[in-house]
Structure 1
Amino acid sequence: MSTTTTETRSPVSRHEHPHSTDGAHPQGTVRILGVLLRQRMRRDRWQLLIWILCIALLALFSASSIQTTYGDAAGRADLVKLAIANPAILILRGLPQGTGLASVTFFEIFTFLALLAGLMSTFLAVRHSRAEEESGRAELVASTPAARILPTVATLTHGVLANVVLAVLTGLGFIAAGLPATGSFVAGAAVGGAGIAFLAVGLLLAQLMMSSRGANGFASAIVVLAYVLRGIGDATGTVTGDGNHMISAWPTWLSPIGWGEQMAAYTANDWRPLLLDLGLAAVLMVIVFALQSVRDSGAGLIPERAGRRDARAALNGPFGLAWRLQWPTILGWTVGGLFTGLLAGSLGSVVSSAVADDPGLANIRTAIGSIGSGGSGPLTQVFVAAIFSLAGVLAAACATQVAIRLRQEEAAGAAEVLMSTPLSRVRWLFEFLLVGVIAIVLVLVAAAVAAGLSAVSAGEDASIINDSFAAAAAQLPVGLVYLGVLALVFVVLPRLTIPLAWTLLGLGAFAGIFGGLIGLPDWAHDLSPFSHVPVVVGTVDWTGGYWMFGIAIVATAAAAALIRRRDFAIG
């Protein structure tokens, strides 16, 4: 009996057990890792392509635009002088390291590129870890010879390769703009190094949080916190040498983005701070693998707050449910609008005062006008209108996430369950879109209130409050057109909603805000809703706004008419 039992179990032990000797053999492990890595590359091929190309092109076009706007040494000296004299600009930009074209380019754009690399990497990390556990796919993969550790190794390898490619293409973008090759690759490595550090942060938070939404939110907050810490360190730094260089204070050394700054591309070209990025990633990954080996699949080390025994009365209808599902995201974008408004109001007053004190800085107006709407008028008003282009991007991003939430509810099967009640599809769609409209308004109102009050507290006339609300109202059509068009995309092409949503937002923001600055053809620039935002400085022309209102209404009506005629797209 025992012999028969042993003979019966041995084939299972060798070929079917998830921890079989085939999976443990080095060749088998490499083969499985290769399969997992290819799966991740295939799944992310369009998302990563868009992220990496946009960051690299932003590096290229930024360098070209700075050369066009500040081609002479006097113009660059004015810019650095203004930045060093005003800490708010240092928080927003970076650490000045001279007036050369290459060093000014690195000062102007690096921190933003590193911020984007951090977001790209954390989203990638959570998508292939915590989100996979939420869907149940991670448990299925763990039942194969891949077990539980190899998928994490594959995700780490995938993220590192993505950041290496990003580093190389960013360096090539700077080189294509005519900057020195050595410094360009140092700058690219600084961007990629920050991305690798945040990749490990994302993987760690995927171990700690119970949901992918929580992990993504926490990771994004850490990336932004790193940006702010770097800004505080730069703003409180000390001026050295000829007055065109600065040494950052200690808060900068708490941030992976700050470590990239310390590489001082195009000046010192110091590779040593890159070791801090790689060292942080290595330490965090040791913790990740330790937690991964003992944690239950699907569990998080930080438990979610227990829900109420009985639902609130507000959840009796689809609007209350839609709001409950999305209020944390809306709150996050609203806080972003608040900070954007604070920057617009306080920094606008600072720039206006600096130009009034030093007429030699008057050419700064041209650069400010190229950021967004431009126009002529009081410089503070011009600056607020220009910076509100960023508030418009936040409002459109909030609308984008509403459309994405529609798709997520449908894909998970939750929408189909709701449709089994007397609730109609059209009402379900409209209730979500109503939440989207409210979210857009909240983001813009928060930005307007913060901009107006901060400008008044800095000594501006109270009329700037009206100007801030006018600038916010000008951005409203952009958010609504994204909400309506993406609702139509959700109805017609449900499975492409998420990638198309972020692609349309990214391309629209890039072409609309930076298109004129980098010399895009008029037809490409005009495709972006952001290029048709009414200019609220001087004579206001609302033609573009009216067209966007019309497009939003037509797209929403088409979505409502078509949603009744299609099946649910589950999964």
Structure 2
Amino acid sequence: MTTLLVLLRQRLRRDRLQLAFWIIGTAVLAYSSMSAVFTTYGDVQDRKEILGVAIATRTILVFRGTPNGVDDGAFAFFLLFAFLAVMGGLMSTFLAVRHTRKEEEEGRAEGVAATPAGRNLPMTATVIHGVLANVAFGLLIALALMASGLDASGCLVWGAALTVCGIAFLAFGLFAAQLFRTSRAANSLSVAFVLAAYLLRGIGDAAGTPSADLLHVTPAWPSWLSPMGYGQFTGAFVENDLTPLLIPLAFAAALIGVVFALQAVRDQGASLIAGRAGRATAGPVLSSSFGLAWRLNTSILLSWTAGGIATGLLATSLSSVVNQAATDAPQVLETLRRAIGSEASIEEAFVAVFYLIVGILAACCAVQVGIRARQEEAHGTAELVLGTPVPKIRWLLEYWIVGTIVIVVVLAASALAGIAGAGNAADPESLIPNVLQAALAQLPACLLFLGITLLVFAYAPRATIAVGWTVVGVAAILGVWGPILQFPDWLVKLSPFAHTPVPAGGDTDWTGGIWMLVIALAAGALAVWSMRRRELASGG
């Protein structure tokens, strides 16, 4: 028991800042969102119109939740639960992989296994740590909802649903860590599982059976395949039924049992899915340091490009839906305009919001390129490259170029997907220029995040991962949610996404984009130049 407590204390200490960011940040976002819900949809008639449009068009339900009435709590649950569950799911899966596969990958798990802790106690400590994190996540969000004035019993059911969903995702993250030899692959599968759960829940809601008054929906069977679906089955603030949560809890318990069984028979560092054998000889791409930098970031590019393509398709293929929504419920247009800070038309606003999401995806891709440079340095493989006639300035410059290329590829792919989806629009000729401008408008902000990440890498390399993800995460929340949640204007403007040019007819203001481009180029150039005298910083 003493050894278990030591391991648990180590995990709590190691994750204190990351978990504080996830848990407190999400709770603050939930509280702020409630204020926005009451402000924007305070009238019962407005809520009836929104639910009527959502149920009539169905596509909106994919991005929201299960309609269950117009009362304050039920309407807020419809708008926010799925998004908060995604946040909890990502927190849980990252935690699971970080304390299992990542520890094996870095060689630390072997040292711990050589002590009296063995191989099972560290896994037990990780499970307890993850469960406690999800309990704190659900409880703090429940308290935030209570503070906004919602009924306490419904808030506790909402918090319990988030906790159980998070535990189910934690179990899957632990399982994914058993499947793959690298933490990157395990994290990729875990994120895909969270997003698939969100999509299945959305499909279940969209294919569900509406009530006669168009205020309630009974989800279809795809929701039964998602932990988030069972969270919604609780009917917080209406039924307050905790029984559906037994299913994801049973799923988590069974999967954790499988994980312990695999952990007992699996060799340290091995995985159920064997790593692919490398080629006997290098191909032409690997004949240079630039080719190596490109090859190392190919999987990153493919993942984020797929997300960009899907978002681009949605941006234009749903134009008829959003036009109908804006006609039936004018609040939709006002919400979109508030999100982008522009008096654009409904189609321009809708495209701008979706391509703002594309910009976030491209920025994340760029940040990962900078983080990859740090990982190469930390693992000692960059030293092998720099031991050849490749100077440090050229080495980082090549990563900067690769980062720029991946941004352009993600944006271009999303633009092509948007053009393809525009074929279903009423007036595709007018929509296509908006798509091209909206995609291009994301370039300065994405380059700025790349420059910031490389600048941190040059001056504080060990902080690259934490600062890179924190900066882009906070900027995304402020830039996308800040205007909707009516954050102070000065706070919203701290986000580069708030200065992204918004295509609005012939009145598009590119001033913010030009300034961001200048700053981005200056940051990148300073980062590359600063590498000439910096010593390599190996290790975490």
TM (normalized to structure 1)? 0.92
Residue aligning to 2:437 = 470
Q: Which letter does structure 1 place at the counterpart of 2:508?
A: V
Question: 1:68 is matched by which residue type in structure 2?
Answer: T
CA distance in 2, matches of 1:451, 1:432: 28
Matched with 2:456 is 489
Q: Comparing 151-160 with 38-47, which one deviates more in the overlay?
A: 38-47
Q: Say whether 1:552 aligns with 2:523.
A: no
Matching of residue 286 in structure 1 with residue 257 in structure 2: yes
Partner of 2:22: 51
Q: For 1:347 and 1:55, locate their aligned partners in 2 and report how far apart those are by CA, in whole Å.
A: 29
Matches within 5 A, 1:22-101: 30-101=1-72
Q: Separation in 1 of the partners of 2:144 and 2:326?
A: 33
Q: Paired residue for 2:143?
A: 172
Post-superposition offset of 1:501? 1.0
Q: Secondary structure at the match of 1:273?
A: helix
1:461 Cα deviation after fit: 2.4
- 1:362-389 deviations in Å (ceiling 9; x for gaps): 2321012223354322x22221112221
Unaligned residue ranges in structure 2 (runs of 5+): none
Q: Equivalents in 1 of 2:139, 2:216: separation in Å? A: 27
Helix, strand or coil: the match of 2:318?
A: helix
Whole-Å separation in 2 of the counterparts to 1:387 and 1:179: 31
Mapping for residues 88-167 of structure 1, pairs under 5 Å: 88-167=59-138
**1:428 matches 2:395:** yes
* Paired amino acid for 1:188: G
Residue 567 of structure 1 pairs with residue 535 of structure 2: yes
Q: Distance in 2 between matches of 1:125 and 1:354?
A: 40
Change (3 A) 1:268 1:455: farther
Verify the 8 A CA contact 1:76 1:101 in the aligned structure 2: no
Residue 350 (structure 2) aligned to one of 357, 379, 383:
383
- Report the counterpart of residue 508 of structure 1 in structure 2: 475
Pairing 1:399–2:366 present: yes
Q: In the alignment, residue 376 of structure 2 is paired with which amino acid?
A: E
Q: Distance in 2 between matches of 1:259 and 1:92?
A: 16
Matching residue's letter, 1:71: G
Q: In structure 1, what is the equivalent of residue 270 of structure 2?
A: 299
Corresponding residue number in structure 2 for 1:195:
166
The question of 1:232 aligning with 2:203 is answered yes
CA–CA separation in structure 2 for the residues paired with 1:381 and 1:456: 16
What is aligned with 1:9? none
C-alpha distance after superposition, 1:253-310 (max 9, x if no partner) = 0001111111111111111122122111100011001000010000001112222111
Answer whether contact 1:456 1:462 (CA < 8 A) is retained. Answer: no
After superposition, what is the alpha-carbon deviation per residue over 1:188-239, rounded to whole angstroms, capped at 9, x for unaligned? 2211211110100010111111111111111111111111111111110000
1:336 aligns with 2:303: no
> Using the alignment, how far apart are the partners of 1:421 and 1:318 within structure 2?
10
Given that 2:51 and 2:214 are in contact with CA atoms closer than 8 Å, whether structure 1 keeps it comes out as no
**Structure 2 CA distance, aligned partners of 1:73 and 1:302?**
53
Q: CA deviation at 1:421?
A: 0.3
Letter aligned with residue 547 of structure 1: W
Partner of 1:325: 296
TM-score (normalizing by structure 2): 0.97
Letter in structure 2 aligned against 1:529:
P
CA distance in 1, matches of 2:336, 2:362: 21
Which entry has the higher C-alpha Rg, 1 or 2?
1
Following superposition, the deviation at residue 413 of structure 1 comes to 0.7
The structural deviation recorded for 1:525 is 1.5
Deviation at 1:460, TM superposition (A): 3.3
1:347 maps to amino acid: L
Counterparts in 2 of 1:460 and 1:193: CA distance versus 1, 3 Å: farther
Give how far 1:517 is off. 2.2
Deviation at 1:353, TM superposition (A): 3.2
Offset from partner CA, 1:508-533 (integer Å, 9 cap, x none): 11112222222322222211111111
- 1:567 is displaced (CA, Å) by 0.9
Of stretches 180-189 and 292-301 in structure 1, the one that deviates more from structure 2 is: 180-189
Name the SS of the counterpart of 1:570 in structure 2: coil
Taking the aligned partners of 1:270 and 1:448, their CA distance within structure 2 comes to 44
Please give the alpha-carbon distance, in whole angstroms, between the structure 2 residues aligned to 1:371 and 1:337.
19
How many angstroms apart in 1 are the aligned matches of 2:205 and 2:109? 42
SS in 2 for 1:98: coil
- Superposition pairs for residues 209-228 of structure 1, below 5 Å? 209-228=180-199
Aligned equivalent of 2:246, options 275, 278, 281: 275
Name the aligned partner's letter for residue 66 of structure 2.
L
Pairing 1:372–2:340 present = yes
Distance 2:315 2:379 in 1: 40
Unaligned regions of 5+ residues in structure 1, if any?
Answer: 1-29
Contact 2:27 2:140 (C-alpha < 8 Å) held by counterparts:
yes
Alignment correspondent of 1:452:
419
Q: Is contact 1:374-1:386 (8 Å) kept?
A: no
Q: Deviation at 1:405? A: 0.8
| CA displacement at 1:172 relative to structure 2 | 1.3
Partner deviation per Cα, 1:521-554 (whole Å, 9 max, x = no partner): 2222211111111121231111110111011111
Q: AA paired with 2:198?
A: Y
- Deviations 1:104-140 (Å, cap 9, x if unpaired)? 2111111111111111111110111011111111111
In structure 1, C-alpha distance between the alignment counterparts of 2:66 and 2:290, rounded to whole Å: 46
Counterpart of 1:350 in structure 2: which amino acid?
V
Aligned to 1:15: none
Match of 2:234 in 1: 263
Question: Structure 1's 448 and 101: CA in aligned 2 closer, same or farther, altered over 3 A?
Answer: farther
**Which residue is equivalent to 1:363?**
331
Question: Among residues 197, 214, 217, which one is paired with 1:243 in the alignment?
Answer: 214
What is the CA–CA distance in structure 2 between the aligned matches of 1:175 and 1:385, rounded to whole Å?
34
Residue type matched to 1:203 in 2?
L
> How far does residue 36 in structure 1 lie from its aligned partner after superposition?
0.7
Partners of 2:201 and 2:222 within 8 A in 1: yes
Cα distance in 2 for partners of 1:60, 1:390 equals 22
- Taking the aligned partners of 2:410 and 2:241, their CA distance within structure 1 comes to 41
CA distance in 2 between partners of 1:67 and 1:204 (Å): 40
Once residues 58 and 528 of structure 2 are traced to their aligned partners in structure 1, the CA distance between those partners, rounded to angstroms, is 49
Please give the alpha-carbon distance, in whole angstroms, between the structure 2 residues aligned to 1:375 and 1:167.
Answer: 38
In the alignment, the residues of structure 1 paired with residue 326 and residue 35 of structure 2 have an alpha-carbon distance, to the nearest angstrom, of: 25
What percent of counterpart residues are identical?
A: 50
Q: Which position in structure 2 is the counterpart of 1:8?
A: none
Tell me how large the CA RMSD over aligned residues is. 1.3
Deviation at 1:178, TM superposition (A): 1.8
